[in-house]
Amino acid sequence: MKTYQRFPLDLVKGKGCWVWDEKGEKYLDAVAGIATCSLGHSNRALIKSLSKQLRKLQHVSNLYQIPEQEELAQWLTSNSFAKSAFFCNSGAEANEAAIKLARKYGHIKRNIDNPIILCSKESFHGRTLAAVSATGQPKYHNGFEPMVDGFKFFSYNDNESFKNLFDGLEKTGPKIAAVLIEPIQGEGGINVGEKSFFQLIKAKCTENNVLLMFDEVQTGMGRTGTLWGYEQLGIEPDVFTLAKGLGGGHAIGALLVNQLADVFQPGDHASTFGGNPFACRAALTVGREIQKRKLLIKITERGIQLKEGLINLSLKYSDIFFSTRGIGLIQGLVLKDNKKITSLDIVKSALEEKLLLVSAGAKVLRIVPPLIITKKEINELLSRLDKCLMKLS
Residue 282 and residue 46: Cα distance in Å, rounded? Answer: 7
Residue 126 and residue 133: Cα distance in Å, rounded? Answer: 9
Binding residues for pyridoxal 5'-phosphate: 91-92, 124, 215-218, 272
- Residue 199 φ then ψ, to 5°: -65, -35
Collapsed DSSP state (helix, strand, coil) of residue 381 = helix
DSSP H or E stretch at residue 179? strand 176-181
SS3 readout for 325-378? EEECCEEEEEECCCCCCCHHHHHHHHHHCCEECEECCCCEEEECCCCCCCHHHH
Residue 193 and residue 120: Cα distance in Å, rounded? Answer: 11
* DSSP character at residue 154: E
Collapsed DSSP state (helix, strand, coil) of residue 102 = helix
Residue 142 and residue 59: Cα distance in Å, rounded? Answer: 37
Contact residues for 45 (Cβ-Cβ < 8 A; gap 6+): 39, 285, 288, 289
Contact residues for 348 (Cβ-Cβ < 8 A; gap 6+): 7
Residue 118 and residue 126: Cα distance in Å, rounded? Answer: 16
| Cβ burial 285-324 (10 Å sphere, 16+ → b, else e) | bbbebbeeeebbebbbebbebbbebbeebbeebeebbeeb
In residues, how long is the chain?
393
Binding residues for N(2)-acetyl-L-ornithine: 127, 271
Pairing of strands 151-154, 176-181: unpaired
Contact residues for 15 (Cβ-Cβ < 8 A; gap 6+): 40, 41, 42
Pairing of strands 330-335, 321-327: antiparallel
- Strand blocks (E) in 204-345: 211-215, 239-242, 253-257, 321-327, 330-335
Binding residues: 91-92, 124, 127, 215-218, 271-272
| C-alpha separations of 230 from 60, 240, 257, 263, 298 in Å | 33, 9, 14, 23, 19
